Amino acid sequence: MAELVVLYKTPKDAAAFDKHYAETHIPLAKKLPGLKKYAVSTGAVGSPAGPSGVHLVAILSFDSEAGKAAAGDVPKFASGGADLLIFDTKEV
């Protein structure tokens, strides 16, 4: 299984980010071929040291690697930047 983890950093306008993410990006990402699961963080994203600077975490699971259309939308609303991590997983 392939996983895509996106760490969205704190945007300049959190309300605008949240609106675009909910109304545009989620519906776009849900059309990705092979998408099996799509989860997002709720509330503050912290770290053991305190605030993380991350506004939202998204975790998408696929049968195989995908996501170019959704990744292309990220610069349109993620004014704080985002780190996209793609990797395969195995049950342990």
Neighbours of 10 (CB within 10 A): 16
78 in Cβ contact with 8 (< 8 Å): yes
pLDDT score, position 4: 86
Instruction: Give the pLDDT means over successive 10-residue stretches in the chain (92 positions).
Output: 88 95 92 89 93 93 65 75 78 78
Tokens found for residue 64: 């195989």
66 in Cβ contact with 3 (< 8 Å): no
Name residues whose C-beta falls within 8 Å of residue 81's C-beta, 6 or more positions apart in sequence. 9
In whole angstroms, give the CA distance from residue 23 to residue 89: 30
Structural domains in the chain?
2-88 (3.30.70.100)
pLDDT score, position 25: 92
